[in-house]
Amino acid sequence: MKAEIISIGTELLLGHIVNTNAAFLSQKLAEAGIDVYHQATVGDNVERLTRAIKESLKRSDMVIMSGGLGPTIDDVTVEAISKLTGRPLVLNKMVLNGIKDYFKFRKLRYVKASLRQAYMPKGLKLIRNRVGTAPGLIAEYNGKEIICLPGPPRELEPMFTADIIPYIKKRIKNAHPIRSRSIKIACAAESQIDASVRDLLRLKPPTTVGIYASPGMVQLKIMTKAKNDRLAKMAINKIERKIRSRLKEQIFGCDDQTLEGATGMILLKKKMTIATAESCTGGLIANRLTNVRGSSGYYKMGAITYSNASKTATLGVPEEMIDKYGAVSGQVALEMAKGIRKLAGSDIGLSTTGIAGPLGGTKKKPVGLVFTALVTGKRSLVREFRFRGSREEIKFQTSQAALNIIRENI
């Protein structure tokens, strides 16, 4: 079965919001064995939306739409479906009562404009909205199906998962689900990883490997289409073993695993505690480490020593060292790590100092120059990095590098 996705909203076309619904729907449809070859985004216009639906139905068996089901005048999805199918809009008392109950439950005054939302094309299947007021709907048209979903992701996602996926699975036979697994590598260049797995990147369907780079991370995504989950898992595992045999310790996890989660697991396993002293990252490393469940078992303390004076007063970094080498230097980073370890009484001290930009760089010390230091009872190390990107990207890459240093050296 082939499906298309139509996302509705002028705000999407203008780039005011990111279209996360299309990504979610594509992923879930692939998992169900539904092929998606086209996506479209249409503004809040009845005529253009109606034409887009007609075009999609020429190519596909099913059209899934998101957005345009609200109570305002620019919500035109229901009107477009009515016009396309020739079904008149009629007041649905069940929908109206649901809207009133929603306002009552939230202790809000019922707004008469919401009455517009209760008019539905006559005879269509409605899907209950457990979160908001706009129901979903399913229309059969010329032997094909149109599924309309609300735009807010917190409404769309549970509706699609609980109601639409079971409905679709009943309608298709011999579906071959697509399964995938993302292998994650931190702080490596895409070209380096490409050189190690180039033959795997040339694999042809049904099992393929793609490479995707983002700041501080490269992902290798294994995808396969198989008759069932068992065969899909076997195909994915076979390729994953090859990748792991080549990249070994460079890999920190897969799928939903995070670098901070992988680092935290190691600290818990080793029964080691850590404290952080941050300058350019402004507490980002502490935030990421403590985002992990069970982090109280290894994280002891964090200090954001942004100014030179705080580096001296809090961490004991000598003023003359800062004067001689500068706050952004390997020498100062090392003293920061030593100072926070002593102050917290932790097994590990970790520090960062750098120039996140966009100002503050010089020819000798450009924007993106970062030093990270790690100190334990047995060893000390300092790493220098040169990152590029926006201020936020440099901060994130620094935190990524710091977490990876912990993972690789503990």
Report the pLDDT value the prediction gives residue 111, as an integer from 0 to 100: 82
CA geometry: angle 310, 294, 260, nearest 5 deg: 65
**Rounded CA gap, 407 and 252, in Å?**
8
Domain ranges of the chain: 2-171, 178-254, 259-409
Contact residues for 21 (Cβ-Cβ < 8 A; gap 6+): 7, 66, 67, 149, 151, 153, 156
pLDDT tens sequence across 271-315:
999 999 999 999 999 999 999 999 999 999 999 999 999 999 999
**Rounded CA gap, 131 and 280, in Å?**
41
Residue 178 or 285, more confident: 285
Mean pLDDT of the chain: 95
Average pLDDT value for residue range 373-389? 96
Average pLDDT value for residue range 255-264? 97
Report the pLDDT value the prediction gives residue 171, as an integer from 0 to 100: 83
Report the pLDDT value the prediction gives residue 182, as an integer from 0 to 100: 97
What percent of the chain shows pLDDT beyond 90? Answer: 87
Domain 259-409 sits in CATH at: 3.90.950.20
Tokens linked to 147: 């599924």
Range scoring the smallest mean pLDDT among 61-75, 93-107, 193-207, 329-343: 93-107
Tell me if 330 sits within 8 A of 322, measured CB to CB.
Answer: no
Contact residues for 71 (Cβ-Cβ < 8 A; gap 6+): 111, 113, 114, 115, 116, 117, 133, 134
**Rounded CA gap, 229 and 287, in Å?**
37
CA geometry: angle 18, 23, 26, nearest 5 deg: 155
Q: Which fold has domain 178-254?
A: Alpha-Beta Plaits (3.30.70)
Domain 2-171 in CATH 3.40.980.10: yes
Indicate the burial class of 193 (C-beta count within 10 angstroms; 0-12, 13-18, 19 or more): buried
